[in-house]
Structure 1
Amino acid sequence: MNRLQTSAGGFDLTRFPEDPRDLLRAWDAADEYLLRHLEEALEENGERPSGTVVVLGDRWGALVTALADRRPVQITDSFLCQEATRANLKRNGVAEDTVRLRTTRDTPPDRIDVLLIRVPKSLALLEDQLHRLAPHVHAGTLVVGTGMVTEIHTSTLRLFESILGPTRTSLAVKKARLIFCSPEPGLPRRANPWPRSYALPADAGAVSGLTVTNHAGIFCADRLDAGTRLFLRHLPPRRDREHVVDLGCGNGVIGLAAALANSDAEVTFIDESYQALASAEATFRANADAGRRARFLAADGMSDVPAGTADLVLNNPPFHTHRATTDATAWRMFNGSRAALRRGGELWVVGNRHLGYHAKLRRLFGNCEVAASDPRFVVLRAVKR
C-alpha cells in the first residue's frame, strides 16, 4: 500500500486485487500533476469550479478518491478499476455513494461542468468517449487531460481539437503532461466511428466469414490477431452438453465458435472490460441462433463462476496491465480456472511461446500438453485431475 499526498490530505491507495507483493502504485506522476494543477487553480481563483465533475479513465480510483468531496462521476471501461475505487474509498473512510460509478457504455450526465481525462492507452477508446461526452459539455466546461509524455501524442491532441475544441499542452513535469481544452459547442460534429465490424477470414475455423463487432478499445479491433486465428483452427472437439467459459473474451469470437460447434453448450463470456463484453454480446447475437442463451459477465477472472461448474475454459490471457508487463493476470486466470473446473474439465490457453505458460500450467494442474503451435504462438491443454 502507498500513500498519495495532496493539499487535501493523504490517501492510502492500492490496485485491485490487492497483492502485498505488487510494487506498482495505484497512481503515477500524471495523476499527481492533475491534482496539483487543480489545487493551484483553487488557490489562484479562491474557489473551485462548481457543477458536475466527471473523471474519465481513472486507473485505480486515485483521482476520484482524492476528489471525493466534489462527489464526482467516474467513467471507466474497467471492472477492476471500479472494484479498486470501492476498496480505496472504503480504505480512506469515504462512503461509496460519494462517487457515482459509471461505465463507458452508460449514458453520461446531462451536463458536465468539469471534465478530467486520464488519457487511455487506446486512442480509439479516447475517440469513442470524446464523441459520447461532447454533447454534454458546454462553453464553460473546464476540460483538463493528463498522461505521461509517452501517452500523449499529436494524434491525441488532434482528437481533442476535432471533437471538443482548441487544445494546448503544458510543460512536462516528472515525465507527465497536462492537456487543456476549451470546448466549442458549435463545432461541427462528426459521427462516432465506433463500433466497427469486419468479416472473419477464411482460415478462422468454424466462424470463417461471420461478422464480428468491435467496440473501441478492445484488443485488435480492426483485425483477427494471429494467436486467436491459431486458436480457432485448433479448438477442442465437441463433447456432450457442457459449460464453456470464454475467459478474457474480447470480442467473443472464441466463445462464439464453441457455441456454434455445440448447440447444447452453455457459454459464459467473461472480461473485465465493458467495451469487450459489449463487443462479445453484439457478435454473439448477430451470429448465434435466435433465442440462444449465453451469459456475459464483467468480473475479475473466474471469481463469479462457482467451483466445479465449468467443463471447458478457453483463454487468451493478457500479459500487461495498462503499460506494465506482468503475468499476474494470467496466473489469476489459471488459478481461477482450476477452481471452477469439474474433475476432468480442461483449460485451453493460447499465448506467445516466450511467455512460458506451459511451466505455470504444469505446476498448477500437474500436466500440460501442446495442442497446436506455430513459430510465434502455442495452444496448450491442461486437465483437472
Structure 2
Amino acid sequence: MTTPFGSHELTRFPADPRDRLRAWDAADEYLLRHLDAGTGKRGPVDLAGAGQVTVLGDRWGALVTALAAYRPTQITDSALTRAATEANLARAGVAAGTVTLLTTQDAPPQRIDVLLVRVPKSLALLEDQLLRLAPHVHAGTVVVGTGMVKEIHTSTLNLFERILGPTRTSLAEKKARLIFCTPDPAVTAAATAAAPAGGGWPLTYTLDRDAGSGAGLTAVNHAGIFCADRLDVGTRFFLQSIPTNTDGARVVDLGCGNGIVGTAVAVADPDAEVVFADESYQAVASARATYEANVRRGSRDRAEFLVGDGLSMLPAGSVDLVLCNPPFHSHQATTDATALRMFAQSRRALRPGGELWIVANRHLGYHTHLRRLFGNSEVAASEPRFVVLRAVKREKRPRPM
C-alpha cells in the first residue's frame, strides 16, 4: 500500500499467498489522502501536534500502520485484525508499544483528539462504540469516518449526528466516501444521558420451544453479534440436531457467537468440558454471559473462552466434538476461506474418532470439502435451506511394509 505517509507491505491474517483479497481498500486510501491534504501543515489537522489519535474499526491494521509515527490507538472487535496489525507493524519496523492495541471491550482513551472511524458492517456495533467514545471526545476533536459507498447509509450518518454532532459526507472516490463530523458537547451529553445503561447492550432473550436443545435457555448478545435480537434460523435448525448426550466429552463451540450452542451442551451434560472460541471479542463476551446465565455457579469451572484464530490455540488431538456454524463472509467479501480453515483446524484438534458437526446453507456444498479433508461426510439432518453435516476423524492405519 502506497500512501502519503509511506509505502507498506500489508497482509491479512492468517497470511495466505493464495488469498487475492488485499489488507486495505479504497476507503483506507481515501482517508489517508485526506489526512495529508491541504497546505501549510500536514493535512487538515496537524497530526504531529494533535494529541491522542484513535482509530476505530481498522480492518487489518492498514490505518495504524500508515499512521504509526503519531502513536495511534487502535480499537477493534477482531482478534484476527489485531494479529494482522501486529504483523504489519513489525514488518514496517515499528517498535513494539508504539501503537496501543485495544479491543471493543476495553476502556477507551480518556481523551480523544482525533477519531478516525472505519465504518463496520454492523450498525449496532457502530452505535455501541460511538456511545462508548462520546464522553471522551471534545469540541475540538477531529472526527473522520471512511467506508465504501455501499457501507455508508443514511442510518450511518444519523448515528454520527445523533451521538456526536453535525455530520456531512464527501464526494465519492473509487466507490469510497468520507464522513466528517463536528462534535458538539451538548449533543454528546444528551446522547449519553438518553442511552440506557450500557447503550442498551447486551440484549437478552429466552429461546422458545422450537429451539431444540436450546429451548428455554437465555441468550445474551453484545453489540455486533449476528442476529442479536433473535435466534437465527441456521442455529435454530442446528440446535434441533446436535448431539447433547456427550458423556463428559471435551466439546468446542467454534465460531461461537453468543455461545448458545455450547451452552446447550453444557446444560444437557454438566460433565462436558466446553470450549467457546471466536475471533470476535464481542462474541466471546456474549458467550461467557450466555453460559453464566444458564449454568449454575458451582458448575462453571468446566468452560473455557478463547478469542483468536479458531482452534489454533488448542493442542492437536485434544477435542472430542466440534460444533460449528461457519461464516461465509469476511467483512463485505463472500468467501469460503474462513470455513475451510475452521474445518482444517477442527481435524487437527480432534482426537481419532472425534467428530465435526456443521450447519450451513445447502448451496455452499461443504460436504465435498469435508470428504476431501476427513475422507467422509454424512448428512445428519436437512431441510430445504440448511443441512447439518457430520465428519469423523478416522484413525490412521499403518502403511503395509
TM-score tier by shorter-chain length is over 0.9
Residue 398 of structure 2 corresponds to: none
- Equivalence map 1:8-157=2 (5 Å): 8-41=5-38, 42-43=41-42, 47-48=46-47, 49-157=49-157
| Pair 1:234–1:10, CA change in 2 (3 A) | same
Q: Residue type of the partner of 1:295?
A: E
| Pair 1:108–1:228, CA change in 2 (3 A) | same
In structure 2, distance between residues paired with 1:305 and 1:283: 22
Q: Residue 235 of structure 2: SS of its match in structure 1? A: helix
Residue 340 of structure 1 corresponds to: 349
Q: Residue 140 of structure 1: SS of its match in structure 2? A: coil
Residue 371 of structure 1 corresponds to: 380
Deviation at 1:207? Answer: 2.2
| Pair 1:34–1:236, CA change in 2 (3 A) | same
In structure 1, distance between residues paired with 2:5 and 2:287: 42
Q: In the alignment, is residue 229 of structure 1 matched against residue 228 of structure 2? A: no
List alignment gaps of at least 5 residues for structure 2: 395-401
Deviation at 1:211? Answer: 1.8
Deviation at 1:309? Answer: 0.5
Deviation at 1:143? Answer: 0.3
Deviation at 1:96? Answer: 2.7
In structure 1, distance between residues paired with 2:332 and 2:381: 29
Q: Residue type of the partner of 1:80?
A: L
Q: Residue 224 of structure 1: SS of its match in structure 2? A: coil
Deviation at 1:7? Answer: 1.9
Q: Residue 332 of structure 1: SS of its match in structure 2? A: helix
Q: Residue type of the partner of 2:283?
A: A
List alignment gaps of at least 5 residues for structure 1: none
In structure 1, distance between residues paired with 2:45 and 2:238: 59
Deviation at 1:299? Answer: 1.3
Equivalent residues of 1:171, 1:177 under 8 A apart: yes
* 1:35-64, Cα deviation, whole Å (9 max, x unpaired): 000001444668335110000000000000
In structure 2, distance between residues paired with 1:260 and 1:165: 46
Residue 201 of structure 1 corresponds to: 208
TM-score, L = length of structure 2: 0.93
Q: Residue 311 of structure 2: SS of its match in structure 1? A: coil
- Equivalence map 1:254-273=2 (5 Å): 254-273=261-280
Higher strand share: 1
Deviation at 1:173? Answer: 0.8
Equivalent residues of 2:45, 2:142 under 8 A apart: no
- Equivalent of residue 326 in structure 2, options 317, 320, 327: 317
Runs of 4 or more consecutive aligned structure 1 residues displaced over 6 Å after TM superposition: none
In structure 1, distance between residues paired with 2:44 and 2:240: 62
Q: Residue 346 of structure 1: SS of its match in structure 2? A: strand
* 1:260-288, Cα deviation, whole Å (9 max, x unpaired): 11110110000000010111111110111
In structure 1, distance between residues paired with 2:330 and 2:209: 32
Q: Residue type of the partner of 2:266?
A: A
Equivalent residues of 2:220, 2:258 under 8 A apart: yes
* 1:161-203, Cα deviation, whole Å (9 max, x unpaired): 1000110111111111110001111221221122211111211
TM-score, L = length of structure 1: 0.97
Q: Percent identity?
A: 70
Q: Residue type of the partner of 2:343?
A: F
Equivalent residues of 1:164, 1:181 under 8 A apart: yes
Q: In the alignment, is residue 160 of structure 1 matched against residue 169 of structure 2? A: no
In structure 1, distance between residues paired with 2:55 and 2:68: 11
In structure 1, distance between residues paired with 2:42 and 2:304: 50
Residue 170 of structure 2 corresponds to: 170
Worse-superposed segment, 34-43 or 329-338: 34-43
Q: Residue 308 of structure 1: SS of its match in structure 2? A: coil
Worse-superposed segment, 93-102 or 153-162: 93-102
| Pair 1:328–1:254, CA change in 2 (3 A) | same
- Equivalent of residue 327 in structure 1, options 330, 336, 351: 336
Q: Residue 98 of structure 1: SS of its match in structure 2? A: coil
Deviation at 1:239? Answer: 3.2
In structure 2, distance between residues paired with 1:120 and 1:46: 24
Q: Residue type of the partner of 2:378?
A: E
